[in-house]
């Protein structure tokens, strides 16, 4: 049964999804189709992913117009053209891999920070109704370039309210943990290693992470969209999992009678924390607990 509140939120709307061919962005698009939006614009720089995603969507029965737009959020001129007439923006485009961001810090800033400013500027210019940005638990007490740029992205989104002028745009963020089975995440890597007969790599036996499914991630994004009034951060309730124990579970599930698969400890990567946090101590005083998530409200002025 279609959620009536979400149907009311999305029906007849024109929606832009940046990073729309990625794991989260593409699932947002798939799930949106049930809510009868007028149009979805899938915005991504990856031509090959566009091609295969377009072929997938052709097999799904729906009445929504889906446009595949090649573009980069770094390109303000292209983004402005994609944003014209849009009601809701889901901002999922990002550089998200910690080691690559450490090795390419200027590129991380161009995408995660400068790209977000382009989103904000264009949304205000086109008087978009709502912008929902995807953040990470690595933005909480960040120790890496990726986490720092995500924290900047969060603060830019939350404080975009100061630039509103006469615009009606609402800006909010959702904060994710590690998304299971997303592209480049650890479980697909482990499955590949098991199938190749290679050792499963774990950085540290004490390493812990918060995990969420792609379905839970998209559900949180939609909850945020339906309930936001601007400047909130929505955080899904999650439990931390020990990575080493999780690796053993994955081996047991996917080994399927092959030879014994060993676990290789590789050591923590540069700037990598042993465990993450979902929110800061300061945010707890501004936070309201819901059934399945938390909402961090803006500070009172």
232-245 confidence digits (pLDDT tens): 999 999 889 999 99
Taking residues 217-224, report their average pLDDT.
94
Burial of 213 (0-12, 13-18, 19+ CB in 10 A): middle
Whether 82 maps to a domain, the answer reads yes
Give how many domains the chain has, as a whole number.
1
Count CA atoms within 13 Å of residue 115 on its CB side: 25
Whether 301 maps to a domain, the answer reads no
**Residue range 112-131, pLDDT digits in tens:** 999 999 999 999 999 999 99
pLDDT at res. 300: 63
Whether 119 maps to a domain, the answer reads yes
Three-state DSSP state, 169: coil
Whether 120 maps to a domain, the answer reads yes
Whether 262 maps to a domain, the answer reads no
Catalytic residues: 138
**Whole-angstrom Cα distance, residue 235 to residue 230?**
15
Q: What does the block give as tokens for 116?
A: 């977000």
Domain membership of residue 41 as a residue range: 4-178+211-238+277-296
Whether 252 maps to a domain, the answer reads no
**Residue range 161-202, pLDDT digits in tens:** 888 888 899 999 999 988 887 777 888 899 999 988 899 999
pLDDT at res. 19: 97
CATH at 55:
3.40.50.720
Whether 186 maps to a domain, the answer reads no
**Range from 20-29, 236-245, 249-258 carrying the lowest mean pLDDT:** 249-258
**Range from 140-144, 230-234, 256-260, 275-279 carrying the lowest mean pLDDT:** 256-260
DSSP secondary structure letter of residue 242: E
Q: Which residue has the higher pLDDT, 257 or 207?
A: 207
């Amino acid at each position: 049964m279609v959620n009536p509140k979400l149907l009311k939120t999305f029906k007849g709307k024109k929606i832009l999804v940046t990073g729309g061919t990625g794991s989260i962005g593409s699932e947002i698009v798939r799930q949106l189709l049930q809510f009868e939006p007028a149009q979805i614009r899938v915005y991504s720089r990856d031509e090959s992913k566009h091609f295969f995603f377009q072929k997938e969507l052709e097999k799904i029965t729906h009445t929504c117009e889906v446009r595949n737009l090649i573009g980069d959020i770094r390109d303000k001129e292209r983004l402005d053209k994609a944003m014209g007439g849009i009601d809701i923006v889901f901002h999922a485009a990002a550089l998200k891999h910690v080691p690559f961001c450490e090795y390419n810090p200027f590129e991380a800033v161009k995408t995660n920070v400068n790209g977000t400013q382009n989103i904000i500027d264009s949304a205000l210019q086109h008087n978009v109704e709502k912008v929902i940005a995807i953040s990470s638990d690595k933005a909480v007490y960040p120790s890496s370039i990726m986490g720092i740029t995500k924290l900047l992205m969060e603060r830019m989104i939350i404080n975009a309210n100061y630039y509103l002028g006469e615009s009606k745009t609402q800006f909010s963020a959702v904060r994710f943990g590690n998304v299971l089975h997303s592209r480049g995440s650890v479980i697909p890597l482990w499955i590949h290693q098991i199938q190749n007969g290679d050792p499963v790599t774990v950085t540290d036996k004490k390493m812990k992470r918060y995990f969420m499914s792609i379905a839970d991630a998209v559900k949180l994004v939609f909850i945020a969209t339906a309930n936001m009034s601007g400047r909130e951060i929505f955080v899904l309730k999650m439990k931390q999992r020990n990575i080493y124990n999780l690796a053993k579970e994955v081996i047991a599930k996917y080994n399927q009678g092959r030879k014994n698969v060993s676990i290789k400890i590789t050591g923590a990567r540069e700037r990598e924390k042993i465990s993450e946090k979902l929110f800061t101590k300061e945010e707890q005083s501004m936070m309201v607990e819901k059934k399945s998530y938390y909402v961090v409200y803006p500070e009172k002025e």
